[in-house]
Amino acid sequence: MRWWSRLIAAVALLVFFGALAVLIEPSLGKRGLGGDVRSEHWGSLSLLSNALREGSLPLWSPYERGGYPLLADPQTSVLYPPAWLMATLLPLWNDRPTVMVYYYAAHTAWAALGLLLLLRFFGVRRSAALLGALVLILATRWIKARGASWVFPVSWWPWMILALASLARRPRPLGGVLLGLAVAMAALSGYTPNAAHGTLLLALLTPVLVLMARRRKRCPRRDYYRRLAGALALGLLVGVPLLLPNVLAARELFPMTMRARLEERALYRGALLPDDLLEEPFLPPRDKATAGYIGLAPLALMLGAVVVRPTALRLLLLACVAFFSLLSLGDDHWLLPWLVKNVVGFDLWRIPGNYLFGALMSGAILVGLAADDLRGERRARARVVYCVAALLLLLPLWIVPYDDTRVGAAAALLLGSAALIWAAGSSSRVTARAAMVCLLLLVAFDLRWQAAATFRDLKTAFDREPSDVLAHYAGPEHRVLDNAYAGARFGARTGYRELRGDNSTLELYRVRRFMFVGRHSANVMGAANVRFVAGRGIYGFYGATHKELSIIELRHFAPRAYLTREVLLVDKRSQALHQISRHQPGTYVVFERGDLDGAQRARIERLQIAARREHGSLRRHAGEARVVVSQRERLEIDVSADRPALLVVAEQHYPGWRAGIDGREVTILRANYRFRAVLVPRGKHRVVMIYAPPRVRAALWGYWVALLGALAWIAGCGALAWRRRRRAVAAAATSCPPAPS
C-alpha cells in the first residue's frame, strides 16, 4: 500500500470514529456534555481563542479568581497544540459549548485509530483490531467521561504504547522522538493525573515489550541496549522541555493551593465498592449508569485470552486489568492507600475511579488479541474456549440477585455472542467474515444500550441567557461575582473580570478563604473591586431577579486602583480579613507584618505615623489613580499623589509580577490579604506592572525549540524515507528485463 493510500485510510478511519462518537448520542443539542464542560473546559478554550486572535499565548488570566497563572493549571491546555487548532476554529460554533462535542470526538477518534494501529503492529487482523478499538471508545468508562477532560490524555495512551513497541523492535532516534512527543502531549492535553496513569501503564508494559522485541533481533545484546538507551535519552530531551513550563509553574503554585492542604484520605477516597467491581462488568443493559462495563462478548474474549494463548504479554495485560481495577477502589482496598503512603508520585493524584482507564486500555488490547485467535492457528481451541466463557457468564445472571436488570436481554446477548464467536472461528472464510461483522454490530449495540443510562445523566443544554445578563452588569472598572455559577465562566469567555471562575483544588488557599469570609461580608467582596453579586439570597436579601438569579449591587466597593495613606498593620492572616470586613472598601490598606521585611516595615510605619497627624479624609484619599492600559499580563496606572502614599491594586498578588515607577523597579507588596500594593512618591507617575516569571519564560524558549525540533525531525525522516522509496522503485524499474517483442 502506497503512502498516500495509507493516509487516506487513516483519515477515513478518523472520520468514522469521530462520527461514531458524535452520532452515538441522538439527543445532541438537547443535552450538553456535563457540568465540567461548562465550569472548566469551555471557558479555558474561549480564553485561549481570544488570546490567539491577539497573537500570543496567555500566561495569566485576570478574568477569574482575581487573577491566576494559566500554565500552573494543566487543565487550561495552553501549551497543547490541538487545543490551538480547536481554539482557532471556535468562532465557527459562535462560542457555544457544542464545540466540546467535536473536541471530544476528535480525541475519541485519535484514541481508536491509535489502538487499531497498535493491534495491527502486534499482527492482529483488521476486524479484530476494529473490535478492540470499538470496545475502548464505547465502554461506559469512556462514555461517562464525555463531560470532562479525562479522555484527552487517555487518547494518547495507544500512541505511547505504539511508539514504545516500535522503538523496542527497532531502536532508532525517530522512535525516541515520537515516544517523548506522545508522552508530553498526553500530559499537556488537560488532565495530568490520567497522563501519569498512562505513564504507569507504559512502565508496566515496557519489560515485556522489550523482551518480545529482543527475541526477534539478532544483533548483539550490548549494541541493542546501547541504541535503545540512546533513543530513550533523545525522547527525554524532547519530552522534558515540552513539560518544563507547566512543571515549573505548577511547582510554584502548588504549596499555596487548597490541594496542598487536603487530607491524605481525600487523595484515595473512592466512589466504587468491591461489590461494584465484581458486579459492573457482568451487568446486562439496565437503567443505572455504570463505570466498568465493556460488553458481554468482549468480557468473554478477555477472560479466555490467557487460556487460548498464555503469552507473557497477555498475562501482563490481564494483571494490569486487575491492578488498575483494584486501584480504582480507593480507600475500599488496601492497595492504593499503601501506595500513597509509601511510593512517590501516588500522593499527587485524586479521583481513584480514573484508574479504570488503565483497566479499560489493557482490556481493549486483550480483546483485540483474543478476537484474532478466531482466525489464527489455534482457532479450533479458541472458538471452544471463548464460547464456553460466554456461556459461563450466564451463571451470574441467575446466581447474583441483580436489582432492576434485564436478565433476559443479557442472556440473549450472551447466547448470540457465543453463536457468533463459534461461527467466527469457522474454517469457511465467508462464514467467518460474516460472523465477525455481526459480532462487531452486536458489541456496538450492547455498549450503546448500556451507555443510554449515562446519556440520561448528562446536563441539559446550556442556557446562555444568564451569562448574557451577567455580561450586561460587567464593566472594565469593576468586577462581578457569579456566586451561583450561572454564567459558565463568562469572565474567561467575554474578557470581563469575574471573581469566582471555575472551582478547582488548585485555587490559592488565600483565595478560597477570602471567598468563604466574603459570603458573609459585603465589605470583603467590595475590597475585591466587586460591584455586582449574582446569587440566590446573598447577604440575607434579594435584589433584582432574573428567573432564579438575584443581582445585588454593593453600596461600597473599592476601585480597581486607588491611593491611600490609611495603613493597618496586623500580625495574623485572620486579623487581616477581620479588619477588611470592618472598614469601608477603597479607603485603607491592610498589611501583615510577616509579609514585610525590616526595611519595608520601617517605611510603612513611618508613613503610618505621618498619616496619623492628618485628617481622616486626607489619609483615606491621597490622590488619584487611573488604569490606562489593561492587558492580561500588563497593567499601566497613572497616579497623581498629593503626598507619598500606597497604590493599592485589586488584582491577585503572585510571584512573577514585577512593577516599575517611571522605569524604576519597585517591590510589589501583598496588601488586603491577597492583592497588590506599591509605595509611590509624591507627584505624577506611571506605574507599570508586568507578569514575567523568569524561569517560566526561559522554559518556554526550550518548549518551542523542542516542539519545532521534534516536528522538523519527524518531517525530515518522512522526507528521507520517501526519497529512499522513490530511489528503490526507480532502481527496480531499471533492473527489470525488457519485455519480449
Q: What is the pTM of this model?
A: 0.91
Same domain, 14 and 129: yes
230, three cell numbers: 540512546
What digits encode the pLDDT tens for the residues 642-683? Answer: 889 999 999 999 999 999 999 999 999 999 999 999 999 999
Confidence of residue 718 (pLDDT cuts 50, 70, 90): confident
Structural domain count, the chain: 2
**Which amino acid is it at 275?**
D
Single-letter code of the amino acid located at 466 = P
Same domain as 271, residue 394: yes
For all residues of the chain together, what is the average pLDDT? 86
pLDDT of residue 204: 96
In 373-494, alpha helices (H): 379-392, 395-399, 407-424, 429-456, 465-473, 490-494
Share of the chain above pLDDT 70, in %: 87
Q: Is 526 among the domain residues?
A: no
With contact defined as beta carbons under 8 Å apart, do 608 and 570 qualify? no
315: Cβ contacts below 8 Å, ≥ 6 apart: 306
What is the reported pLDDT for 542? 45
Instruction: Between 291 and 615, name the one with better pLDDT.
Output: 291
CA atoms within 13 A on the CB side of 544: 9
Arithmetic mean of pLDDT, 351-365? 92
Q: Kind of pairing, strands 479-482 and 530-535?
A: parallel
Does residue 31 surpass a pLDDT of 60? no
Q: Which domain holds residue 635?
A: 561-694
Does any domain span residue 723? no
The number of beta carbons lying within 10 Å of the beta carbon of residue 262 is 13
**Is the pLDDT assigned to residue 174 strictly greater than 50?**
yes
Q: What is the mean pLDDT of the segment spanning 414-425?
A: 90
Query: Cα-flanking dihedrals φ and ψ of residue 739, to 5°?
Result: -65, 140
Q: Are 683 and 639 in contact (CB under 8 A)?
A: no
Of 438, 456, 474, which marks where a domain is finished?
A: 456
Same domain, 445 and 591: no
pLDDT at 452 over 80: no
Least confident of 7-21, 268-282, 419-433, 627-641: 268-282
The residue ranking higher by pLDDT, 284 or 212, is: 212
Burial 189-202 (b: 16+ CB within 10 A, else e): bbbbbbbbbbbbbb
- The pLDDT value given to residue 186: 96
Q: What is the pLDDT of residue 608?
A: 85
Greater confidence, 351 or 167? 167
Name the more confident of 138 and 407. Answer: 138
Q: Is the pLDDT of residue 540 over 50?
A: no
Examine residue 67 and state whether it is found in any structural domain, yes or no.
no
Q: Which of 694, 710, 728 is the last residue of a domain?
A: 694
Any domain includes 543 = no
pLDDT at position 33, please?
A: 58
Query: Which whole number is the average pLDDT over 424-444?
Result: 90
> What pLDDT shows up at residue 531?
93
Report pLDDT for 81: 95
Residue 713 pLDDT grade (very low, low, confident, very high; cuts 50, 70, 90): very high
Answer yes or no: is 504 within a domain. Answer: no
Q: Which residue has better confidence, 729 or 653?
A: 653
Residue 714 lies in a domain: no
Q: Is the pLDDT of residue 133 over 60?
A: yes
Exposed, middle or buried, 25 (CB in 10 Å: 0-12/13-18/19+)?
A: buried
Q: Is the pLDDT of residue 129 over 60?
A: yes
- Provide the pLDDT confidence category of residue 90 given band limits of 50, 70 and 90: confident
Q: What is the pLDDT of residue 541?
A: 45
* Final residue before a domain boundary, out of 417, 439, 456: 456
Widest pairwise Cα distance in the chain:
116
Does residue 522 contact residue 553 with C-beta atoms inside 8 Å?
no
> Is the residue at 177 inside a domain?
yes
Listed range (278-287, 326-335, 490-499, 710-719) with the worst mean pLDDT: 278-287
Q: Is the pLDDT of residue 603 over 50?
A: yes
Confidence at 37, pLDDT banded by 50, 70, 90: confident
The answer to whether residue 103 is domain-embedded is yes
